[in-house]
Amino acid sequence: MVPKQRAPEKRFYSVGEVAAIFGLSSMTVYRAIQDGDFPGLKIRGRILVPAHAVEAMIQAASSDGPLVDAASWVSDQSGR
């Protein structure tokens, strides 16, 4: 029997995937990234979101209290 290979962990999400994870529209996520309220990486015309940032934001919302404001969270992470 050939052992199954695990798929590599996802390092980036598309804006559409992030929108689905958080139950938002893609346009809302694009605007949040453009405004600096959500982490993103632009490569040519494509915007990607680091998977670790999404996971860290979910973890913060689960453990830091009743509400995590994405804009404040991004600001805290970048040291602004």
Q: Which residue has the higher pLDDT, 30 or 70?
A: 30
Assign 79 a pLDDT band (cuts: 50, 70, 90). Answer: low
pLDDT single digits (tens) 10-66? 899 999 999 999 999 999 999 999 999 899 999 999 999 999 999 988 888 888 566
pTM (predicted TM-score): 0.76
Q: Which residue has the higher pLDDT, 67 or 18?
A: 18
Measure Cα distances from 26 to 7, 14, 30 in Å: 26, 9, 6
